[in-house]
Structure 1
């Protein structure tokens, strides 16, 4: 099942295209200045399908031409990815007839080291195909704990927090991120605050972020943060986590253009079963209507 954290780590690029430029600049890899950016359909299934879905695919148009970046969130080494990534790259290259870059996002150095090694298909001494990804993670994304630097690029600061989520330095990053967001417009800041919550996953860093949102007052604080502060400890850790995941689900539905009536919104936000919310989230990734998400549950209730 696709997790909320997995989804957040690549959607942060889709929702904030400027992050591509910032990350490639940090890695000292030339990246053309885009004049146009578009989200590309991630469904790479063919007529006789083995279903293949990349995480995020973005089309960049610059003076040099078009360029596609495939972003993949990777939580652990997985040798099956060699064939999957080769398929994504070749399919997109043929479909759009332009250069393709594979970007892999990791939150630990072991996975990043594995992902950075060339993946080959063919004879050991004469590979027919080699896949080489641009890998980002705690090994090459800087720790941003200076407020001036954070204010200059709040999205990169958020990504610094996500990639260093399991590092002892994450507290300092989150503190400057919280303060830096207070210098930007409240809508964008609230959105980034929610992305941070989801992207940190089930880590101590997430609890640190939740404490910052619940105990301090910022202009941008989003609904989930205000609720946590208002209800305090009475909410309980499990309830607060469920509300955070419900907020992420509503955010995903909004990005997918799925209209959520008040009754359904109440159903989502009042749910305290995090496993059920994650099930809904997994369905919502490719859903085009609410029935794609809740239809199975409703049918089971009717039969029961």
Structure 2
């Protein structure tokens, strides 16, 4: 996978990822030439309502009519396959079934999803065939474990970003929007973490499956900092807190400098995206022509 696109695919592009993987003949399912200005809402008001996946309308109705069965099938899947209890946040129809967005209960903490296939003709849930896209849950677990390993450092990052949003008049996404539209692993209203060293990721997942109640002390031998910082991406997304206000290159440079100079932040390579106040209610994305960014290969490095 091209590194330039990895952090976008793992964290932001839920509709792109799911539509693309489930409907390969149709590309990524997004018509970039179409004007979607009528779908834009203020980020402070967006709670994920309206979020949808390509060609999923009919399956969405079937899944909702069988919601209890869908939820139980997904909870069983995560317990059996990943020894993880999850909370169900949203069920969204896709071309092949229903994508179910979940949050792990307790620590390590992460957001991810699973797919429940449906028989549209019979309007039937195929509860014994629940699956996830290859590497999706594993990446979420790995980033969640990383968040636990560097818990104090992420708390410091939270404080730095709260100060930035206050000083530069930005905000993050709502908790409801994250629950209902994101599968980015470990993260919050300001950022998410993606892990790209497959060898260490496999080691972390193996440890997690042996003991899902891992403590920070049990993870000390992993020696994550032997990796290149580019193996761990921390993608920060901030939105202007008022409508009709656009981010500027000057703000981008100043905020990047604050992050560069901050001490005690998590090890990794940081992408920084600044959006205006609006978010697409269907795709859940804030990316548009007004967005300014500092990203791969021009990371903000913390090593």
TM-score by length of 2: 0.29
Say which structure is richer in strand: 2
Q: Looking at CA atoms only, which structure, 1 or 2, has the larger radius of gyration?
A: 1
